[in-house]
Chains A and B, each alone.
Chain A
Amino acid sequence: MADVKCIVTHSAGIERLGEFEINEMDAVETRINDTEIHVTRKRVSVSGGLSVVGLLFGPRGLDCKMDVFVGPNKINEDGPIKADYKSRAECYLFNWSKR
């Protein structure tokens, strides 16, 4: 069991955020400033893998990315995880998993 923390940074202009899940369970979202949100969930079983799903609502052209930490270790070795623009809902979608 480990603590998981996601640091989401985005360009200004976000309308609302929501529905972050870490391994299919609701996570706690904490707004740090206009461009940064921390998403955390404690005591997560990550030995089988880790998935993070989340939505950020805002206008087109937002730059939106995320770093994921398990305990003190950053596990997205290939650089920040970028969010996909989801046209129908006018929002940005994180749908990331690591097995």
Chain B
Amino acid sequence: MCLAIPSRITKIENQMAVIDVDGVRREASLLLLEDARVGDYVIVHAGFAIQTIDEQTALESLRLLREAADAYDAARSQEP
């Protein structure tokens, strides 16, 4: 029931957004979301956008994951 893939808002009209998931267009209500904007990536559940993905936080947590993975690989390559 949960669509785990964030969708991009391409248009907003009267509290309804047109969203794009990998090229597929759908509508989602914005009644449950504060301040949604065109270009935002949102999580959509049962026809409603329920959260905007925080770009800054997404970049930061990805950077941490990648750094940790690189550090791990570097440590491994130094093992005898």
- Do A and B make up one complex? no
